[in-house]
């Protein structure tokens, strides 16, 4: 059994040092719980960064993966495969009529596809500017770190792509100031999750959507973290009554099997021609088999439940009336608890010691993103642990 010390040594000696200190070696999971190699049990309220949407080892996901693995694990995109075709049909017919999609393997790749498609659709090298937002997060490839409006992620990698400019989140005038004849698109997260669970206002998104239409700019939504049911709708944009031109999805869509998807309105998607874009693993049969199960789970009844559980969590955490809690915000099961003091790292650690996994952002906000199958009783357990941790400060 791998011990922490051995894992640390392997990491130090053999793996690029891109990750900070880690304290746990996780081994197996069941439902909302995950266990380390010492058999210590953790209530998982982070879902592997909003990925394990069906919890751990969900029997339907395990069955779908087992059955598919016995048939076909990989199939290049030189050929069709059944789960990929079925998933595309179900996604488009049930969730995105009028759109087409491109399958890839991660959030950054889905955003890359969106950036490339924008360039191809616009078909004018002069008109290549994309407005993104300060404090955003769009991934780690060269294009997506440049799209990301946080210098800590991109300043060591200059020269960056010269096509992105950053507006202030929720400030329509700052977007207006950046629009010129070279602007092709505006790209944003409706909730800046990595940025601290900052929610865009309905007024701002309505105005932004109108501004994009008036100026013939593509509206690209990065729903890598907010999509696939996380906010209590299949897509977060359904809370806003808008119709984006391009939407990206990843994280929770295949319950932990790597998958990214870019959706674009048909007339935009058709700008991509054979050879313009591709992915060896994109639309992999295993990932698609898992995603088909996630899609079945995300029916209207379960989506409503996800939304209500999120409201329940926020109400209950505020009812603790702990003076350290400044605000509880979020939609569905993407929740941020903002603290009055920079102690979120310590609270995360205290919770971990007491068997709860949550995540500190900027040492100020606690990010709560449990699997979408969470029950009220498990939320109550998590709240107790957070309450006890806060009381120590
Ligand atoms: C909004 C958003 N976009 C893009 C990404 C990048 O996704 P990936 O790490 O799968 O490339 C993330 C990852 O956290 C994200 O939250």
Residues whose CB falls within 8 Å of the CB of residue 231, separated by 6 or more in sequence, listed in order: 191, 239, 306, 307, 310, 330, 331, 332, 333, 334
| C-alpha of residue 187 to centroid of ligand 1, in Å | 14
| C-alpha of residue 139 to centroid of ligand 1, in Å | 5
Q: Distance between CA 45 and CA 33 in Å, rounded?
A: 9
Mean pLDDT to the nearest integer, 361-371: 97
Structure tokens at 182: 């070279």
Structure tokens at 41: 């049990």
Residue 242: name the closest of 274, 218, 277 by CA. Answer: 218
Kindly report, residue by residue over 36-83, the tens digit of the pLDDT.
999 999 999 999 999 999 999 999 999 999 999 999 999 999 999 999
For ligand 1, whether the C-beta of 250 sits within 6 Å is yes
For ligand 1, whether the C-beta of 222 sits within 6 Å is yes
For ligand 1, whether the C-beta of 383 sits within 6 Å is no
Q: Which residues of 288-389 form beta strands (DSSP E)?
A: 325-331, 334-339, 356-357, 359-361, 365-368
Residues whose CB falls within 8 Å of the CB of residue 335, separated by 6 or more in sequence, listed in order: 197, 310, 313, 314, 328, 329, 367, 368, 369
Q: State how far Cα 325 lies from the chain centre.
A: 25
Burial class (CB in 10 A: 0-12, 13-18, 19+), 108: buried
For ligand 1, whether the C-beta of 194 sits within 6 Å is yes
pLDDT for the residue 151:
95
* Best mutation site among 47, 107, 149 for ligand 1 pocket (most ligand atoms within 8 Å of CB): 107
The residues facing 33 across adjacent strands are 30, 43
CA distance readout (Å), 181 to 29, 87, 178, 206, 220: 52, 39, 10, 22, 18
Atom of ligand 1 nearest to the CA of 111: 4
**Cβ count within 10 A of residue 57:** 15
Torsion over CA: 311, 317, 323, 327 (sign): negative
pLDDT for the residue 20:
93
Mean pLDDT to the nearest integer, 180-201: 97
DSSP-assigned letter for residue 39: -
**Mean of per-residue pLDDT scores for the chain:** 97
Terminal CA-to-CA distance of the chain, rounded, Å? 36
| C-alpha of residue 137 to centroid of ligand 1, in Å | 7
Mean pLDDT to the nearest integer, 196-212: 98
pTM for this entry: 0.98
Q: Span 4-57+300-391: which CATH code?
A: 3.90.1150.10
Atom of ligand 1 nearest to the CA of 108: 11
Residues whose CB falls within 8 Å of the CB of residue 301, separated by 6 or more in sequence, listed in order: none
Q: Does domain 72-297 have CATH number 3.40.640.10?
A: yes
DSSP-assigned letter for residue 227: T
For ligand 1, whether the C-beta of 193 sits within 6 Å is yes
Q: What are phi and psi of 199, to 5 degrees?
A: -100, 135
Atom of ligand 1 nearest to the CA of 226: 1
Residue closest by Cα to atom 4 of ligand 1: 138
Q: If pLDDT is split at 50, 70 and 90, which confidence band does 91 have?
A: very high
| C-alpha of residue 107 to centroid of ligand 1, in Å | 5
The ranges assigned to domains in the chain are 4-57+300-391, 72-297
Q: Distance between CA 134 and CA 184 in Å, rounded?
A: 18
| C-alpha of residue 320 to centroid of ligand 1, in Å | 32
Residue 57: name the closest of 376, 371, 353, 377 by CA. Answer: 371
Residues of the chain with pLDDT > 90, as a percent, come to 100
Residue closest by Cα to atom 3 of ligand 1: 138
Which stretch of DSSP H or E encloses residue 352?
helix 344-353
| C-alpha of residue 122 to centroid of ligand 1, in Å | 25
| C-alpha of residue 323 to centroid of ligand 1, in Å | 32
Mean pLDDT to the nearest integer, 145-152: 97
For ligand 1, whether the C-beta of 106 sits within 6 Å is yes
Mean pLDDT to the nearest integer, 251-275: 98
- In CATH terms, are 4-57+300-391 and 72-297 the same topology? no
Q: Distance between CA 123 and CA 197 in Å, rounded?
A: 35
Which stretch of DSSP H or E encloses residue 210?
helix 202-214
């Amino acid at each position: 059994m791998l011990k922490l010390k051995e894992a640390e040594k392997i990491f130090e000696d053999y793996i690029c040092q891109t990750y900070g200190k880690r304290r746990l070696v996780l081994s197996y999971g069941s439902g909302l719980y995950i266990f380390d190699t010492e058999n210590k049990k953790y209530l998982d309220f982070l879902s592997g960064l909003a990925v394990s949407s069906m919890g751990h080892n969900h029997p339907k996901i395990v069955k779908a993966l087992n059955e598919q693995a016995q048939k076909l694990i990989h199939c290049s995109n030189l050929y069709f495969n059944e789960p990929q075709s079925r998933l595309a049909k179900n996604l488009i017919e049930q969730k995105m009529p009028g759109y087409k999609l491109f399958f890839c393997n991660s959030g950054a790749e889905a955003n890359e596809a969106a950036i490339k498609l924008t360039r191809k659709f616009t078909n004018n090298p002069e008109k290549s500017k994309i407005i993104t937002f300060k404090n955003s997060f769009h991934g780690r490839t060269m294009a997506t770190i440049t799209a990301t409006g946080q210098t800590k992620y991109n300043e060591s990698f200059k020269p960056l792509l010269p096509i992105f400019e950053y507006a202030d989140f929720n400030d329509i005038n700052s977007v207006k100031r950046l629009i010129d004849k070279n602007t092709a698109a505006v790209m944003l997260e409706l909730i800046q999750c990595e940025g601290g669970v900052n929610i865009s206002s309905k007024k701002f998104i309505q105005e932004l959507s109108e501004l994009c239409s008036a100026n013939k700019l593509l509206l690209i939504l990065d729903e890598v973290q907010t999509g696939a049911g996380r906010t209590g709708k299949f897509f977060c944009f359904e809370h806003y009554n808008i119709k984006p031109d391009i939407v990206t999805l990843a994280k929770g869509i295949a319950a932990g099997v790597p998958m990214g998807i870019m959706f674009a309105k048909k007339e935009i998607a058709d700008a991509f021609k054979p050879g313009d874009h591709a992915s060896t693993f994109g639309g992999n049969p295993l990932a698609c088999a898992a995603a088909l199960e996630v899609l079945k789970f995300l029916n209207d009844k379960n989506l409503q439940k996800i939304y209500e559980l999120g409201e329940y969590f926020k109400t209950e955490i505020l009812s603790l009336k702990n003076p350290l809690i400044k605000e509880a915000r979020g939609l569905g099961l993407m929740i941020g608890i903002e603290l009055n003091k920079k102690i979120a790292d310590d609270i995360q650690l205290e919770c971990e010691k007491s068997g709860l996994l949550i995540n500190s952002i900027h040492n100020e906000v606690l990010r709560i993103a449990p699997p979408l199958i969470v029950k009220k009783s498990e939320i109550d357990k998590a709240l107790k642990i957070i309450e006890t941790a806060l009381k120590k400060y």
